[in-house]
Amino acid sequence: RLAGAFGALDKAIVPEGEGAKLAHWRLTARRAALHERNNRIEQARAELASLPLELLDTLPPDGNNLRSEALSAHAAVAARLGDSASSAALSQRILDVASEADVRANAAFALASALDKQGRHTEAWRAATLAHETQLDIAREIVPDLLAPDSRPLVMTAQHIDHREHDAWSTLASPR
């Protein structure tokens, strides 16, 4: 599957002219993200070397989607390398420029994780709250009935299961 994903990126039709450069950079960001998600951190770093942060600062305002994608790849690699401060700063930069709800939710979750690793728990909680609120906005738009006042989408959450009950029906080991 990974080979297929990279093959699809390699076969992407890149526009000619001014848009070509931006399209190539977007493909680079996507290859870097694929490498990172598949534990190929060195390959991700190599891809991102051709897409430095300074370059992202020079993109025009209509390049925010590319900027967000590339910042996300940089943030994910920073997190994998244990640099939670850089990951948090990059995730915040995404929140500063992104307008798409899914991008904002993902950036807020990444920010929450990075802040938590730094022991900045109050800020992490705020970022996680933003992420969840954004996801609820997405759900409200896609499936309005899910969030209707009389809706009960997660009835199981109203029940309490103790460890004995859980052990009686679960075949998975508990992480106690």
For 122-175, how does the pLDDT look when each residue is reduced to its tens digit (9 = 90+)?
Answer: 999 999 999 999 998 998 899 888 778 887 766 666 677 788 887 787 666 666
The listed range with the strongest mean pLDDT (20-34, 65-79, 156-170) is 65-79
Give the pLDDT confidence score for residue 18 in this predicted structure. 72
Mean pLDDT for the stretch of residues 74-85: 97
Distances (CA, A) of 121 to 33, 114, 130, 160: 27, 10, 14, 27
The CA distance from 115 to 175, in Å, is 24
Q: What is the average per-residue pLDDT within 73-90?
A: 97
For the question of whether the overall pTM of this predicted structure is more than 0.95, the answer is no
DSSP structural state of residue 153: T
pLDDT in tens, 92-104: 999 999 999 999 9
How crowded is the C-beta side of 138, counted as CA atoms within 13 Å? 14
Q: Rounded CA gap, 22 and 93, in Å?
A: 19
Alpha carbon 49 to chain centroid, angstroms: 20
Greater model confidence, 75 or 9: 75
Model pLDDT, residue 168? 80
